[in-house]
């Protein structure tokens, strides 16, 4: 049975990483107006690390969560509005409660791929409030398919209505994707989604493998606008899916118009696969670390690639950006 | 004569406290009370010759002379029941649960104030690790615009209780941080890392300070680290303070003593060690009063 | 609250003037049993003395406990309680929570409550001289996955113990087996009862079952979301039937027998959503998202209880839903 594929647009959230969380009101306004005509299932807005994440650690956002969400909500009539939430950064009282009052439809609660039980209360809260809750497993390459399934089952039990696994480091090979998505699709009662990063040029093909293995929600970003080497390029994906006769509800031409808009007004430089992105993928480190690594490497005059490799050795998780400076110092001493 | 203390709650935290107390020259554990005589903690206590009870707080109610101070390592809901009872009995209570009914206490910071209260809590692990440092800095600068604490702990050191209370952890630590430093603009972040071998608890502190005198700040920090090390031997400065982009940045690591809890549980060890230091202060104070 | 026939009352004769212990008294099942027993005491002079063991008294219980002489609340953990009051004649062992979320977040403690709690209950029961029957509340989940339209007490399917979804059912299966061992060796009089699915007042809508989500959705947003294709078949027993059945099984259940507890009227999730819509009104929308192919059935065959104990379903699904929704409308925060 061929299901409908829901395209979930993370341009204004993962893309935030690409511009160090400096999205402007006019950018959000323009983009959301345009994307609402395309038929994508939902669009996510916010700081790259989600609600309440604006901080020194991962970068301060130019716009508050409130302005980001309200600006987007204003323009969305046909598209659901989603947010990304990481317990440990955001809390129910300080952040989620307010976000729901601003009109968020979908809350995607994310944890590191082995720590799903920290999302119990947050998922429960969103469901209690009658909104849609998804469970997200970040850095999912760091867990075997079997462990991932256990964690996904936990989130499903807590009320997650879909489980999305993230290739936060952009390091998956197609077989890695197939093994995980297949196992999850076969054993969960809720739909499975996949979030690709393009560090090894596999964003689109990994997304296709995921779909063939049973995924029904695919994250993408216009022009790939996302952390590191960016996400699966959404308009390319839409075109491929159209060619393969999958139903996505997306008007391709309108989506291409949005891509042109992004090229003109949102991105300063095209998202490409930089050398550093390749190294971060090989090291298995979160793509969102790139800008911090680059800056600190320059400051301390060390090779950013060495920093990434060391981060990988230490198996750091998203949120451990504070280790970058520590590693840079140690590398500096060695030189 | 040693100061008599009781422990309510015979799980891992209570048992670890027991072992620390057995090393203390000031404290004597006169009662180890819980609900289940065959639990691992109880068996350990029995092997140390400690008086046991499975009647929980009733054991203290029936024999109020047994102790002057009580460590409550049960649960937030139980502590809310224990607190008024222990107050009636005139006991000093050190609360290790998330109930947080009493005074926020950090031995390196407000020990004198704590002696005036009868219900004290240890805030959170991140709080114990970083607030004294932020406090020390706040004393030598005119103002702190913003403080951010980022703690990363080993997954194995975070049990179901911790995992279900991440929001409370953040909110309590932020509240205490503002309280002790006067900084109103604060943020606390916590991460769990499953890497094996388990990592030591790591806390990075970012402080937004205008024109900081780094030498002065560094020396104050080092002084404070020494004070903390006197009751938390596994505490050390992992990243010496640097000034980067308008921010003073430093990192602290805590390695547990491995008394009962494994060494990677530095987050639990620092709270227990702080609690012991506090109890010892009450003990010393009592001697002085006599 | 409910209409009992003369036959219902006479079936429960044996319980008159006896002391009954309910472990896990603060749960959904416990709460309803208490309500029924109080009703029997007040309206029909059953003179039952009710002992409850639970770790905490919930809101619903608090009102009964303080004001009534016929209820004695023992606050304790079922694993630790050292002995039971000596006058106990009947035991309903209901101590464990079928809230899957607790099993996911705290699997070891959760299993422990079932295994050690059941063992301790049996050990304490051994010392009761007047004991006549124990109802052990097991779970319909012990049957595992089955391709069956309705599951009889002898139909056993597959249970993959290498999965975290096995935590609750495996612990319950172990408990049933353990309880049988006490029957075999020590001749404890045991009736196994296997509950399926219920809907009614005092249920927590946060528990992640489809029907709970539908009701919560409809009361909050007027839009019912069916995640799958709506085809899975379930059945729902109303708690007044549930409580009455359990008391019957306690009074008259055969020593060593196992009885399913639930409704055998299978209904698809789609139909459930439609029924809810019919009750709440035309402004309700139903969204079928077709996000999975699940067509599973979880419906008990209850012919054994019907035949052996003369029991039947008094409250059918439409009525059950109506009463439930009315209650939730009033009580949902």
Q: What is the pLDDT of residues C166-186, one digit of tens each?
A: 999 999 999 999 999 999 999
Q: What is the pLDDT of residues A209-234, one digit of tens each?
A: 999 999 999 999 999 999 889 999 99
Q: Which of C195, C24, C204, C172 shows the shortest CA–CA distance to C103? A: C172
Question: Same domain for A29 and A88?
Answer: yes
Question: Same domain for A184 and A245?
Answer: yes
The strand pair at B146-154 and B201-208 is best described as antiparallel
Q: How many angstroms separate the CA atoms of C201 and C208, rounded? A: 16
DSSP C166-182: GHHHHHHHHHHHHHHHH
* Residue finishing a domain among A246, A265, A284: A265
Q: What is the pLDDT of residues B217-244, one digit of tens each?
A: 999 999 999 999 999 999 999 999 999 8
Question: Same domain for B85 and B196?
Answer: no
Residues in A closer than 8 angstroms to C291, CB to CB, are 3, 162, 190-191, 216
Q: What is the pLDDT of residues B17-32, one digit of tens each?
A: 999 999 999 999 999 9
Contact A120 B164 (CB under 8 A): yes
Question: Same domain for B89 and B168?
Answer: no
Average pLDDT of chain A is 94
- CA diameter of chain A: 59
Question: Same domain for B174 and B71?
Answer: no
Compare CB distances from A315 to B187, B195, B249 and report the shortest one's residue. Answer: B195
Task: Look at chain B and report how many structural domains it folds into.
Answer: 2
Compare CB distances from A124 to C206, C220, C221 and report the shortest one's residue. Answer: C206
Q: Residue B289 catalytic?
A: no
What pLDDT is stored for residue C290 in this prediction? 79
Question: Same domain for A200 and A279?
Answer: no
Preferred mutation among C26, C53, C79, C80 to probe B, highest tally of B CBs within 10 A: C80
Question: Same domain for A199 and A143?
Answer: yes
| A97 found inside a domain | yes
Least confident of A119-123, B38-42, B273-277: B38-42
Question: Same domain for A177 and A226?
Answer: yes
Question: Same domain for B205 and B89?
Answer: no
Q: How many CB atoms lie within 10 A of CB B240?
A: 12
Q: Which domain holds residue A281?
A: 275-334
C87: its two tokens:
């006058």
Predicted confidence band of residue C62 (pLDDT cuts 50, 70, 90)? confident
The DSSP bridge partners found for residue B191 are B152
Q: Which domain holds residue B194?
A: 125-263
A331: its two tokens:
């590398």
Please give the residue of chain C at the shortest CA–CA distance from B39.
C80
ipTM comes to 0.94
pLDDT exceeds cutoff 80 at A134:
yes
Residues in C closer than 8 angstroms to A120, CB to CB, are 101, 104-105
Please give the residue of chain B at the shortest CA–CA distance from C101.
B164
pLDDT exceeds cutoff 60 at B290:
no
Question: Same domain for B91 and B155?
Answer: no
What pLDDT is stored for residue B289 in this prediction? 56
Task: Look at chain A and report how many structural domains it folds into.
Answer: 2
CATH of region C6-200+237-264+299-314, choose from 1.20.1600.10, 3.20.20.120, 3.40.50.720, 3.30.300.30: 3.40.50.720
Residues in A closer than 8 angstroms to C105, CB to CB, are 117, 120, 154
A interface residues, B as partner, C-beta within 8 Å? 55-57, 87-89, 91-94, 112, 114-115, 117-118, 120-121, 142, 299, 314-320, 322-323, 325-326, 329
Instruction: Give me the active site residues of A, please.
Output: 17
Q: How many angstroms separate the CA atoms of A276 and B137, rounded? A: 37
* Residue finishing a domain among A265, A290, A312: A265
Residue B37's domain is classified under what CATH number?
3.40.50.720
Q: What is the pLDDT of residues B111-127, one digit of tens each?
A: 999 999 999 999 999 99
CA distance A253 to chain B (A): 42
Residue A302's domain is classified under what CATH number?
1.10.8.60
Contact B170 A314 (CB under 8 A): no
Compare CB distances from C79 to B36, B160, B163 and report the shortest one's residue. Answer: B36
Question: Same domain for A162 and A54?
Answer: yes
Question: Same domain for B94 and B191?
Answer: no
Q: Which of A163, A171, A111 shows the shortest CA–CA distance to A132? A: A163
What pLDDT is stored for residue C66 in this prediction? 78
What pLDDT is stored for residue A206 in this prediction? 98
| A1 found inside a domain | no
Question: Same domain for B7 and B112?
Answer: yes
Predicted confidence band of residue A3 (pLDDT cuts 50, 70, 90)? low
Predicted confidence band of residue C96 (pLDDT cuts 50, 70, 90)? confident
| A287 found inside a domain | yes
Residue A215's domain is classified under what CATH number?
3.20.20.70
Question: Same domain for A286 and A231?
Answer: no
Q: Which of B147, B178, B238, B150 shows the shortest CA–CA distance to A292? A: B150
Please give the residue of chain C at the shortest CA–CA distance from A157.
C101
Matching residue, tokens 């023992």: C74
Q: Which of B162, B175, B165, B157 shows the shortest CA–CA distance to B254? A: B157
Q: What is the pLDDT of residues A181-205, one digit of tens each?
A: 999 999 998 999 999 999 999 999 9
What pLDDT is stored for residue C333 in this prediction? 65
Q: How many angstroms separate the CA atoms of C329 and B240, rounded? A: 59
Residues in B closer than 8 angstroms to A114, CB to CB, are 155, 194
Question: Same domain for B225 and B97?
Answer: no
pTM equals 0.91
Q: Where are the domains of chain C?
A: 6-200+237-264+299-314
Predicted confidence band of residue A27 (pLDDT cuts 50, 70, 90)? very high
Residues in C closer than 8 angstroms to B163, CB to CB, are 105
pLDDT exceeds cutoff 80 at C207:
no
CA distance A91 to chain B (A): 5
C176: its two tokens:
């049933």
Residues 6+ apart with CB under 8 A from C330: none
Q: How many angstroms separate the CA atoms of A24 and C211, rounded? A: 43
> Which chains touch A (3+ CB pairs under 8 A)?
B, C
**φ, ψ for residue A210, nearest 5 deg:** -60, -45
Question: Same domain for B143 and B88?
Answer: no
Q: How many angstroms separate the CA atoms of A31 and A25, rounded? A: 10
B interface residues, C as partner, C-beta within 8 Å? 35-36, 54, 77, 160, 163-164
A119 sits in the region (left: phi over 0; alpha: psi -120 to 50; else beta) called alpha
| A77 found inside a domain | yes
Detail the DSSP E strand segments found in chain C: 19-23, 49-54, 71-75, 88-93, 133-137, 190-195, 223-226, 233-234, 258-261, 267-268, 285-288, 297-298
Q: Sign of the C-alpha dihedral, residues A321, A326, A327, A328?
A: positive
Chain A within 8 Å of C164 (Cβ-Cβ)?
A: yes
> Which chains touch C (3+ CB pairs under 8 A)?
A, B
Residues in A closer than 8 angstroms to C221, CB to CB, are 130
Residue B165's domain is classified under what CATH number?
3.30.360.10
Residues in C closer than 8 angstroms to B160, CB to CB, are 105-106, 109
Question: Same domain for A197 and A281?
Answer: no
Preferred mutation among A157, A192, A215 to probe C, highest tally of C CBs within 10 A: A157
* Residue finishing a domain among A265, A290, A307: A265
| A270 found inside a domain | no
Q: What is the pLDDT of residues B178-214, one digit of tens each?
A: 999 999 999 999 999 999 889 999 999 999 999 999 9
């Amino acid at each position: 049975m061929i299901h409908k594929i829901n395209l979930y647009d993370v341009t204004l959230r993962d893309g935030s990483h690409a511009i160090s969380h400096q999205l402007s009101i006019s950018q959000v306004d323009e983009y959301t107006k345009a994307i609402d005509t395309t038929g994508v299932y939902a669009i996510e807005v916010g700081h790259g690390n989600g609600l309440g994440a604006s901080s020194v650690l991962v970068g301060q956002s130019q716009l508050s969560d409130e302005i980001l969400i309200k600006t987007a909500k204003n323009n969305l009539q046909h598209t659901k509005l989603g947010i990304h939430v990481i317990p440990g950064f955001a809390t129910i009282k300080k952040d989620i409660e307010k976000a729901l009052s601003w009109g968020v439809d979908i809350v995607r609660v994310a944890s590191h791929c082995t720590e799903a039980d920290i999302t119990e209360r947050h998922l429960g809260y969103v469901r209690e409030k009658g909104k849609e809750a998804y469970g997200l497993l970040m850095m999912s390459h760091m867990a075997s398919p079997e462990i991932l399934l256990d964690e996904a089952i936990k989130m499903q039990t807590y009320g997650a209505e879909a489980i999305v696994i993230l290739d936060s480091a952009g390091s998956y090979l197609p077989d890695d994707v197939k093994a995980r998505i297949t196992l999850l699709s076969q054993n969960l009662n809720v739909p499975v989604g996949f979030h690709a990063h393009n560090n090894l040029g596999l964003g689109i093909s990994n997304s296709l493998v995921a779909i063939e293995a049973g995924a029904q929600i695919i994250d993408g970003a216009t022009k790939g606008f996302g952390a590191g080497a960016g996400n699966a390029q959404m308009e390319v994906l839409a075109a491929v899916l159209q060619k393969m006769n999958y139903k996505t509800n997306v008007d391709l031409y309108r989506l291409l118009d949005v891509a042109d808009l992004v090229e003109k007004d949102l991105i300063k430089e095209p998202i490409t696969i930089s050398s550093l992105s390749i190294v971060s993928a090989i090291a298995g480190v979160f793509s969102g670390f790139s800008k911090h690594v680059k800056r600190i490497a320059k400051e301390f005059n060390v090779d950013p690639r060495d920093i990434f490799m060391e981060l990988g050795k230490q198996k750091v998780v998203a949120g451990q950006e504070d280790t970058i400076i520590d590693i840079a110092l140690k590398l500096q001493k060695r030189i | 004569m040693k100061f008599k203390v009781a422990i309510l709650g015979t799980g891992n935290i209570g048992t670890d406290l027991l072992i620390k107390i057995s090393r203390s020259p000031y404290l004597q554990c006169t009662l180890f009370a819980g609900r289940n005589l065959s639990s691992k903690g109880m068996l350990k206590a029995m092997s140390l010759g400690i008086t046991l009870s499975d009647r929980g707080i009733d054991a203290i109610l029936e024999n109020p002379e047994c102790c002057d101070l009580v460590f409550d390592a049960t649960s937030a809901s139980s502590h809310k029941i224990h607190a008024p009872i222990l107050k009636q009995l005139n006991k000093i209570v050190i609360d290790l649960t998330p109930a947080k009914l009493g005074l926020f206490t950090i031995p390196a910071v407000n020990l004198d104030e704590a002696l005036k209260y009868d219900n004290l809590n240890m805030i959170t692990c991140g709080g114990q690790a970083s607030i004294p440092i932020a406090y020390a800095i706040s004393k030598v600068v005119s103002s702190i615009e913003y403080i951010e604490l980022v703690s990363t702990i080993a997954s194995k050191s975070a049990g179901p209780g911790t995992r279900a209370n991440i929001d409370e952890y953040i909110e309590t630590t932020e509240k205490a941080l503002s309280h002790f430093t006067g900084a109103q603009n604060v943020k606390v972040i916590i991460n769990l890392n499953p890497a094996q071998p388990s990592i030591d608890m790591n806390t990075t502190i970012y402080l937004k300070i205008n024109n900081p005198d780094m030498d002065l700040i560094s020396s104050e920090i080092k002084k404070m680290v020494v004070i903390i090390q006197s009751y938390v031997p596994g505490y050390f400065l992992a990243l010496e303070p640097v000034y980067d982009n308008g921010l003073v940045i430093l990192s602290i690591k805590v390695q547990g003593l491995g008394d009962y809890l494994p060494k990677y549980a530095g987050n639990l060890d620092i709270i227990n060690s702080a609690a012991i230091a506090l109890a010892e202060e009450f003990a010393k104070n009592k001697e002085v009063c006599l | 609250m409910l209409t009992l026939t003369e036959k219902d009352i006479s079936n429960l004769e044996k319980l008159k003037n006896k002391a009954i212990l309910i472990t896990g008294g603060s749960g959904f099942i416990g709460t309803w049993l208490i309500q029924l027993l109080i009703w029997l005491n007040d309206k029909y002079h059953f003179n039952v003395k009710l002992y409850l063991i639970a770790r905490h008294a919930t809101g619903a219980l608090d009102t009964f406990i303080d004001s009534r002489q016929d209820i004695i609340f023992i606050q304790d953990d079922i694993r630790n309680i050292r002995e039971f009051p000596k006058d106990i004649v009947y035991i309903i062992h209901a101590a464990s929570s079928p809230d899957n979320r607790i099993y996911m977040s705290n699997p070891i403690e959760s299993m422990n409550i079932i295994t050690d709690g059941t063992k301790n209950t049996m050990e304490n029961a051994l010392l009761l001289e007047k004991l006549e029957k124990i109802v052990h509340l097991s779970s319909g989940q012990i049957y595992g996955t089955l391709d069956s339209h309705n599951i009889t007490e002898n139909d056993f399917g597959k249970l993959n113990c290498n999965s975290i979804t096995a935590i609750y059912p495996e612990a319950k299966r172990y408990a049933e087996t353990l309880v049988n061992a006490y029957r075999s060796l020590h001749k404890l009089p045991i009736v196994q009862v296997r509950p399926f699915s219920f809907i009614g007042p005092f249920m927590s809508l946060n528990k992640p079952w489809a029907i709970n989500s539908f009701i919560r959705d409809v009361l909050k947003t007027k839009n019912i979301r069916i995640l799958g294709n709506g085809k899975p078949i379930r059945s729902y027993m109303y708690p007044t039937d549930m409580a009455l059945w359990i008391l019957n099984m306690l009074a008259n259940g055969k020593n060593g027998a196992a009885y399913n507890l639930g409704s055998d009227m299978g209904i698809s999730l789609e139909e459930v959503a439609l029924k809810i819509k019919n009750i709440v009104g035309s402004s309700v929308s139903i969204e079928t998202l077709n996000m999975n192919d699940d067509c599973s059935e979880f419906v008990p065959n209850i012919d054994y209880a019907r035949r052996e104990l003369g029991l039947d379903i008094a409250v059918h699904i439409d009525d059950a839903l109506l009463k439930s929704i009315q209650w939730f409308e009033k009580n949902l925060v």
